[in-house]
Structure 1
């Protein structure tokens, strides 16, 4: 029973997930600090509001800090843009290149339309004779 639990704890995926969560939290703090220190004041130059965090309104004694929400929204948009342009897009391009390389070695059988090697002279699925193609 304890061996299974130990195996679960030290499994590669769990450790990778823990590292990703920690790095994600630190990255989020970094983007929030970047937004508060540089982006918000820069937008304040053009909008006339020096700090969004100070923006609020009061109703019946309750203070609503909508400026803090604006800062959080800007941080979210920056984080999403950075992740997209520096992680998702490059990984997509790499995966696309790998799929193109894989496609270049296979073709469709003209008789049964299954995937066969370009070097094949006979289809492994329907046993039809096919002319080999140059790889």
Structure 2
């Protein structure tokens, strides 16, 4: 039972996923600081409030609706997604592309049957000439 668990945990995908979650959480804190330190003051300068939660809010029968709260969460998500794409995904894709360019895969060696068929093709082409 423990052997199966160990194999499961040590699979590359599980370890990669664990690393991604930890790095994503740390990176999320950086983006949150960026939003809190730069974006929210910009919103405060434009709308007079520190975040969008209080902007575009209305009340119906003592039920409070906040369009600004949804917009605030959507903007935070977009900033996190854009930062992850531009600072992690895109550079790693370019690095993988550079590595791939330098390593062209070698063609598989021909089987005996393929070699014989190649010789027959070559002989037939010389006869027709």
TM range (shorter): 0.5 to 0.7
Unaligned runs of 5+ in 2: 120-129
Q: Which residue of 1 aligns with 2:49?
A: 50
Q: How many residues align?
A: 113
Deviation at 1:10, TM superposition (A): 4.5
Normalized per residue, the structure richer in helix is 2
Q: Which residue of 2 aligns with 1:64?
A: 65
| Per-residue CA distance 1:55-101 (angstroms, 9 max, x = gap) | 22112211112222222122111111111111111112112212222
CA-atom RMSD in angstroms: 2.7
Matched, 1:40 2:26: no
Q: TM-score, normalised by structure 1?
A: 0.64
Deviation at 1:19, TM superposition (A): 3.1
Q: TM-score, normalised by structure 2?
A: 0.66
Q: Aligned partners of 1:89 and 1:43: how far apart in 2?
A: 29
Q: Which residue of 2 aligns with 1:24?
A: 24
Corresponding residue SS for 1:124: coil
Q: Which residue of 1 aligns with 2:9?
A: 9
Unaligned runs of 5+ in 1: 107-114, 117-122, 130-135
Max Rg structure: 2
Structure with more contact order per residue of length (Cα contacts < 8 Å, sep ≥ 6): 2
Task: Decide whether aligned partners of structure 1 residues 90 and 18 sit closer, same or farther in structure 2, where only a CA change above 3 A counts.
Answer: same
Q: Which residue of 1 aligns with 2:86?
A: 85
Task: Decide whether aligned partners of structure 1 residues 98 and 26 sit closer, same or farther in structure 2, where only a CA change above 3 A counts.
Answer: closer
Corresponding residue SS for 2:49: coil
Corresponding residue SS for 1:50: coil
| Per-residue CA distance 1:7-37 (angstroms, 9 max, x = gap) | 3234454233223223323432442343234
